[in-house]
Amino acid sequence: MKYDNKGVMRIVELTGETKQSILDDLLKRSPNNYSQYEEKVNEIIGKVKTERDQALFEYTLKFDKFVLTEDNIKVTGQEIDEAYKKLDPKLVDVIRKSAENIRTFHTKQLRNSWFDAREDGTILGMKITPIAKAGVYVPGGKAAYPSSVLMNVIPAKVAGVGEIIMTTPPGSDGSVNPGTLVAADIAGVDAIYKVGGAQAIAAMAFGTQSIPKVDKITGPGNIFVALAKKAVYGYVSIDSIAGPSEILVLADETANPRYVAADLLSQAEHDELASAILITTSRQLAEQVSVQVGEFVEQLSRTEIMRKSLDNYGYILVADNMRDAIDAVNEIASEHLEILTANPFEVMTKIKNAGAIFLGEYASEPLGDYFAGPNHILPTNGTAKFFSPVNVDDFIKKTSIISYSREALEKVHRDIEKFAESEGLTAHANSIKVRFE
């Protein structure tokens, strides 16, 4: 690897070797690589499964320093009213506007049941049904993000989920972040419980005296939450096992280096494991962005986090041509991809793998995080190769419908019998055969 030390970010020539090295580096951040915590997580899940509410009370006292009881585990209407009073009314208005944009976008994803009837009496179809209960996990403390509440709850609401509950850790005084409560109320959550961590995931997966069992759990959290979701998958459905945040900017010589630097840092500030990568065909832009990043880091508030993020997982890759750059983009399969090139829409047609794509210099990543409408809960750690953003389909079930008349079955019954007999399943074959004896 060749590095340039004029700025804060390392500048690396894009080759097959450097690309693979970076891919290996990024994959180290996957929750699948934190097996040392699995035993503790499984212990928590097992205790909640058997001791139910009592386990929640004990873990909340241990981890959150709050005396949780059956009387205060559920957030009251009065607490929600007080949360509105604590928030700036202008912020409440922004949350409402954001919610409406998210609702409008996700409404376009709705599917209808369909049936295909043929003249011979064959009827095939797909019945669309929303899941009955969904559970949303929301982190607490400094990691409380009202925007994520909207992104989890509104698609479920649009899908028609019958009951949506939310769990979030309380402060030591039993309070819940007011922004979280207001966002939950605006989005339409039915009940909120003051429980956090792996124990909250276990409660939603198996049910306790206070918290109902759900059919699907969504929402971000720390490594214990991620591993708990992985452990309960199969008992319930989950959205994904999310890794640290990441951004990839694909730019040519026409990009504004100040914009690029600002956008890279918008993700680097999340945490020390966040990844911020620029792939460009311009060596000049690479050097300008590295210098500009250094200037921004000194001006912005989360300086230490950004520095460590860039030291660990920040790269500027200089490609010989746009084709090589696009190949690298598709290999990395980033959570957020910004395209800042002369013809971003043309480049976009060649992108196969990305969680969300932002086109042009006025579509920066925070637009998607907060306001535009598409979901910001996105696949990370290269899983955009096979996962999608959270969407309405995550909260529906598809049931196949099959009906044949005697006439329709008579035409094909021997084919079915032959297929079944070839697999040694004579009872299968007989189930068809008896209808024509």
- Among 392, 336, 346, CA closest to 112: 392
Residue 228's identity, in one-letter code, is: A
- Among 278, 308, 272, CA closest to 290: 278
Q: Interior CA angle at 227 toward 223 and 229, to 5°? A: 120
Q: What is the CA radius of gyration of the chain?
A: 25
Rounded CA separation 208/225 (Å) = 18
Rounded CA separation 347/202 (Å) = 44
- Among 27, 19, 29, 31, CA closest to 330: 19
List the structure tokens of 428. Answer: 């299968």
Is residue 64 within 8 Å of 198, Cβ to Cβ? no
Residue 227's identity, in one-letter code, is: L
- Among 227, 184, 166, 200, CA closest to 36: 227
Rounded CA separation 389/412 (Å) = 41
β-pair partners for 133: 163
Specify the 3-state DSSP secondary structure of 121. Answer: coil
Residue 142 is predicted with a pLDDT of 66
β-pair partners for 339: 250, 359
Residue 223 is predicted with a pLDDT of 86
Residue 4 is predicted with a pLDDT of 44
Rounded CA separation 199/165 (Å) = 15
Q: CB atoms < 10 A from the CB of 65, how many?
A: 11
Helix pair 146-159, 89-107: axis angle to 10 deg = 40
Pairing of strands 114-117, 123-130: antiparallel
Rounded CA separation 149/178 (Å) = 12
Is residue 387 within 8 Å of 102, Cβ to Cβ? no
Question: Which residues form the catalytic set?
Answer: 335-336
Stretches in the chain below the pLDDT threshold 50 = 1-6
Q: Which residues contact 338 (CB under 8 A, 6 or more apart)?
A: 247, 248, 249, 250, 251, 263, 357, 358, 363, 364, 365
* String of DSSP letters for 235-261: TBEES------EEEEEE-TTS-HHHHH
Q: DSSP label at 155?
A: H
